[in-house]
Amino acid sequence: MINRARPTNRDLVRRDVLQGINSSTSNLILKLVEYYYNDGTAKELLCLYGTVTCQYKGNRYNIPIEIFLQPEHPIVAPVAYVKPTTDMYVSPTSRDVQPDGTVIIPYMRNWRHPNSDLNNLINAMSDAFSQSPPVYSNAGGGGSTTTAAAATHSTPYPTHTSMPMPSVMGTGGSAASTSHSYPYGYPQTQIPQDVYRDSLQTAVFDKVRNRLDETLQIGNAQIDSLRKTEQDLQEGDKKLQIMINEAQQQQIQAQNYISNIKAKTNEMLDATQKMPSSSSSLGKENSVKDDALITPAPVYKQLLQAYAEEHAIQDLLYYLSDGLRREAIGLDIYLKHVRELSRKQFILRATMHKCRQIAGLSVK
């Protein structure tokens, strides 16, 4: 039946249906019926029908009800009705049931998912009906107490029938043919004024309490939001302090670097000014060039010189080939120089190979 009804939340609907069927305060059965909305549309809905028990003045009574589960259950509250039989009618003074049988107890008006479920709804209906039973029975005249008891035992509604008979509610006829009226919860007697006062006080108290609960929930939510904002601000302040300290340290390091660079610059300027202005001597120039690269050992210097000469020979061979291609030189001159340069290049490569072995470097 749940699959046929196709509710939005099947697992939650199955949970609530099982809770309603297994409830200790009710005797309900599941069925699938056509439900007609106020706008004229109809839809197949899951319906739990049966009775819910209530206690009144030491007696236990069963109230017939029907609970329709909406397709969006439990996001949307169910619709419940009190379904009086042909010998019953809804109490016109009930604050929990409308004249058409619609149940309007506070729990249903304040339905909120996920805090509300079907089991608690049934218990709330039982508590509300125990305070103010919503239906009355029209017992036909001419029948004895035994007949009334037998008729009541044939239905599951009141389980106790040895209640005092109410005052006459019908018109005409003798005492034996008068029509008595009493509710399935308490006899139809004169309702004292304090009952109305207590009912009004209870309704006002429930409304004020609900409004106070909503206000407290809103206030608590705002407080939690402000606390979260305060925590975020404190964490942000700590991060800003760390970033400021790091920036200050980097600024100090940068100033130290600038000071060191200025000092080195001044030293280089002083050294430049102290150098002699005359540097035209060829031997002097050669000594500066020789000292331009400092090697840790003579073998590295020899390796460097052989490497440079080998590349110079490679460039010279290229230009000789280019000159031959452009016919700037003859073939005999080209071959002569190529033989000499190739022999020298071979010796330089052998020298580099030996130097790399001595220096412990990788040999290609």
Tokens of 14: 């199955």
- The domain boundary, picked from 107, 137, 167, lies at 137
Q: Is residue 116 part of a domain?
A: yes
Is residue 2 one of the residues assigned to a domain? no
In a domain, 347, yes or no: yes
Q: 91: domain range? A: 10-137
pTM > 0.75: yes or no:
no
Is position 332 within any domain? yes
Residue 336 lies in a domain: yes
Picking from 137, 159, 176, the residue at the C-terminal end of a domain is 137
- The pLDDT tens digits along the chain (364 residues) read 888 888 888 899 999 999 899 988 899 999 999 998 888 888 899 999 999 998 888 888 889 999 999 999 988 999 999 998 888 888 888 888 998 889 999 998 899 988 889 999 999 999 998 888 888 777 544 333 332 332 333 333 443 333 333 333 333 333 333 333 333 333 334 445 666 677 788 888 888 988 898 899 888 989 988 999 999 999 999 999 999 999 999 999 999 999 999 998 888 888 888 776 544 444 444 444 555 566 677 888 888 899 999 999 999 999 999 988 988 888 998 899 999 999 999 999 999 888 888 888 887 6
Give long-range contacts, CB 8 A cutoff, 24+ apart: 339-348.
341/313, 341/316, 341/317, 342/317, 344/309, 344/313, 345/310, 345/313, 345/314, 345/317, 348/306, 348/309, 348/310, 348/313
Q: Of 118, 137, 156, which residue sits at a domain end?
A: 137
Query: How many Å apart are CA 11 and CA 114, to the nearest integer?
Result: 13
Q: Is 77 a member of any domain?
A: yes
In a domain, 104, yes or no: yes
262 domain residue, yes or no: no
**What contacts 288, CB < 8 A, 6 or more positions away?**
279
Q: Report the number of distinct structural domains present in the chain.
A: 2
CATH number of the domain at 77, please. Answer: 3.10.110.10
